[in-house]
A = this chain, B = another copy of it.
Amino acid sequence: MTPQTAPQWQLTRWFNGKPTTVEDHRGKVIVLGAFQMLCPGCVSHGLPQLQRVRETFSEQDVAVIGLHTVFEHHAAMTPVSLEAFLMEYRYTFPVAVDAHDDPLGASVTMKRYGLRGTPSLVLIDRGGLVRHSSFGRDPDLQLGALLAQLVGETAGDMRTVPKAEHVGMCSVDGECS
């Protein structure tokens, strides 16, 4: 299937950054994470993963954008609630509110990208083509691989932040900890 050009998004409000268009990120890989602040799977998995992507890849290579695509309980997930939510959960990547032209259905950008629900993940390559779209969760190992592929396509070296975590290791010259 031939990749399609990423549709323009139509967003009404931005948090953690200024409004941008798809074109503003041309040259970078874009990670678009659709969520609803009251969607349990988004809170437990989708949003923490977006934050991990932000902290693992360089901003020069990868743009991470959260997309608040409310399609139910509209009065419960207003921008005022979203702002407090982002503050309490300490998310630092840009988050934007999707526009609506149908109060009972999916939001505008969500429909343009053909998303079926939340959490959903869309990867746009450096050239502006949609290369991956999923509903549910992509395991970190696979998402890391997909991103590295897209980052490596037209650029030189990838700039990650390599860091091994401490997980109850046993050292040759000491005990386990």
Chain A: residues with CB nearer than 8 A to chain B?
Answer: 36, 38-46, 49, 52-53, 56-57, 71-73, 75-78, 80-85, 87-89, 105-106, 110, 115-119, 132, 134-149, 151-152, 158, 160-173, 176
In the bound complex, CA of A80 to CA of B136 (Å)? 27
Specify how many copies of this chain sit in the oligomer: 4
In the bound complex, CA of A109 to CA of B58 (Å)? 35
Q: How far is the CB of A28 from chain B (nearest CB, A)?
A: 15
Q: How far is the CB of A50 from chain B (nearest CB, A)?
A: 11
Cβ-defined contact, B176 with A142, below 8 A: no
In the bound complex, CA of A80 to CA of B77 (Å)? 9
| A141 CB contact (under 8 Å) in B75, B132, B144 | B144
Q: How far is the CB of A107 from chain B (nearest CB, A)?
A: 10
Q: How far is the CB of A34 from chain B (nearest CB, A)?
A: 10
- Known pairs A44-B44, A119-B169. 17 more at Cβ < 8 A? A36-B170, A41-B167, A41-B168, A44-B168, A71-B170, A75-B81, A117-B170, A135-B171, A136-B165, A137-B165, A138-B165, A144-B144, A144-B146, A145-B148, A146-B160, A146-B162, A148-B149
